[in-house]
Amino acid sequence: MDEIKKEIMKLEKSAEKLKKLAKDNNAIRKNAEIILTFLYILKFITPTVNKEA
């Protein structure tokens, strides 16, 4: 699971960068935002189990 979580974080950074780079291109920016939506879900379904909440 740790490796999966690392990959999700990498994807998030990359999608954020893509969104910034495409600030003048609606189509690319929107698709980057959609990737970020699914990254929100991916993070939600791979929660980190802390000892203390």
Partner 1 sequence: MEFWNPYTETLPREKLENIEFSYFKNLLSYAKANSQLYKDKLKGINIKDIKAFADIKKIPFTYKEELRKWQEDVEPFPYGGLLGIDIANVSSFRQTSGTTGKPVYVPESYESWQWRIESWCHILYMAGFRPRHRVFLPFGYNVYVAFWEAHYAAEKLGCEVVPGGALDTKGRVNKIIELKANAMCGTPTYLLNIAQEAVSMGIDPKSLGIERALGAGEPLPEATRKRIEATYNCKMFDHIGSTETCGFAGMCEAQQGLHIVEPFFLVELLDKDTLSKEVAEGELGVIVITPLGRRSFPVIRFNTNDVAIKGPSTCECGRTSLKLMEIVGRVDDISKIRGVLFSPKTVEQLIRSEFPEIVEYELVVTREDIMDKITLRMEADAKLGKDKAAEIAKRLGERHKIKTNLSCKVVVEPSGALPRYDLKAKRFKDMRGKH
Instruction: Please report, as ranges, the residues that interact with partner 1 according to CB under 8 A.
Output: 1, 33-34, 37-38, 40-41, 44-47, 49-51, 53
Q: First-to-last CA distance in the chain?
A: 19
User: What is the smallest separation between the CB atom of 32 and partner 1, expressed in angstroms?
Assistant: 13
Nearer to partner 1, 24 or 50 (CB): 50
d(CA 27, CA 25): 6
User: What is the smallest separation between the CB atom of 38 and partner 1, expressed in angstroms?
Assistant: 7
d(CA 34, CA 28): 10
